[in-house]
Structure 1
Amino acid sequence: MSDLLTKPEPTREPLQASFSDAANPVGLDGLEFIEYATAKPQALGQVLEMMGFRPIARHRAREVLLYRQGGLNIIVNAHPMDALAASHGSDVPVISAVALRVRDARAAFEYVLERGAWDVPSHAGVMELHIPAIHGAGGSRIYFVDRYKHFSIYDVDFVPIPTVDQHPPATAGIHFFGIVQYIGPQRSYDWIEFYTELFGTTLIPDEERFGIMPKGKLLRTPALSASQRFMLQLVEPDPNVYDAQERLQRIGLGVPDVAAAVAALRALGVEFVETEAAHTDRRGAISKTYLGSVVFELVHSEPSAQEA
């Protein structure tokens, strides 16, 4: 969470000079991983494998698995205390964290703290990396990672699974497109300000839509390289549905050809929603809900277009 969401304007700290440029104040360069917390890692792993992900490494000290396809990393955290805390006692998986690639993790962390973000105390164990983090929606965490090129965080904290390809190809050109966040009633302005102030996101006009789930406000992140930009979609509850729980709800996956991606994923066992309100078309598709909470949205997105 952040003081930006709780403090009136006069009580906030004044802006200070950024170590980066104004358009990208924390040196953001895309997404490193998304983490699910769950007490049922095998069941979630089966869903991820249907979506084309493969388990490639195990954490050295915790009950944590790393799944990958193409440039996408998903961490499944079944460490008992972590799973219990993130799910608030529920037995369904939750998106408990996102890790952002930044030029300098410590500088980015200090920058957002100066602007009201709330830090997450570190509990790194022996021989584990300390990865700075702040609080996000629904008790989730936003990590800052600057080791993602020749030397990565997985080289320290994880052990590769023998005989497994460490870089499995992406199914049907799948790449990260964005993440959907459910927010409380009339909370759009608060969250837009949060992401804009801390990360330099840009609000996309309402007439510019992507995929088949057009509700909410869309934000685009900056990035050091244009191909690493991604979307944040903020969705308030319908007026007749009072659901004030704020959470990271689903992952958006970009694909160059929606029909081809749906066919490939159906061959792996994935089921898609086909109703009058939401159905597969050239713009996108949405999977059925697995394990009570796990949903994936496909969005038409050419990787080359992201580099424009």
Structure 2
Amino acid sequence: MLLEDVIDEYLYHCRAKGYTNKTMINKRQELKQMKVFLKEKRGITELESATVHDLKAYVRGKQKSGLKPQSVTSMAKMVKAFFNWCVKEEYLIESPMTKVELPRVPKLVLNGFTTEEVTAMINSFTYEDYISTRNKAMIAMMVDTGIRSIELLGITMDHVGELKILVNGKGNKERIVFISPALKKILIKYERIRKEHFRNKVTSNHYFLSYKGAKLSHVGLWNMVRDAGRKIGIEGKRVSPHTFRHYFATESLKAGIDVYSLSRLLGHSEIGTTERYLRSLTYEALSDKANVTSPLMNMNK
């Protein structure tokens, strides 16, 4: 079978599974690069002709190009997913990626936000106008629910209930996140000011909108978060929407939530993904958790 034809079929399969546009762009680009490499460097155009040696050479080429181990591993996993699908569809007996070793990715601990920094960022915005109120509500929602940036931007008015929010997550999977009284107070004010600002003249049903009433862009959200960080003087840290998700996860763990429950709230398909946040806990936080759960400390309670 022509490799090009099988790749096209696989990409349609991924679209049918509900992968995001960003994921589809990455998959399409990576599989195109693999196809070009196999054809031009190894003389391969048929799916069945690709061997473990060819794929090892492809991964080595990525490494020699100067890409970081994390980037090489991410790209290789896309190729691996393609060949695993080929096995599942019985186009291949075995995946040639099975014995391809991926570079070791150093386990970095994200230097996350402190509670003081998060509080300062929320308080840096007021209720004096629509944009400021919207920004306060967006940061508060990320802090309080741990949702992804793409999930935040996809929320519609119909998704926000009295005590919960319906979120459309990765792979088009829906889940529920919960609204605390503190977040509800902010959202009530936001909805009132949103209504006053647009006077029911908006065409978009998205919950968070631009000044003119259009769906807020991913770039717009990132710029808002970075500006909030600069405004309060955060330096030497990654100031991004994901850092709020990291803050939510680590604070929830400190408070005693179990990893399984946290995994469901974050929308992770594998609990191993959630467990990575455990590496971010400081020794002081781990010490506090150990004291709270200590059998001897709890014997006489």
More strand by share: 1
Structure with a larger share of its residues in helix:
2
TM-score (norm 1): 0.28
Larger Cα-atom Rg: 2
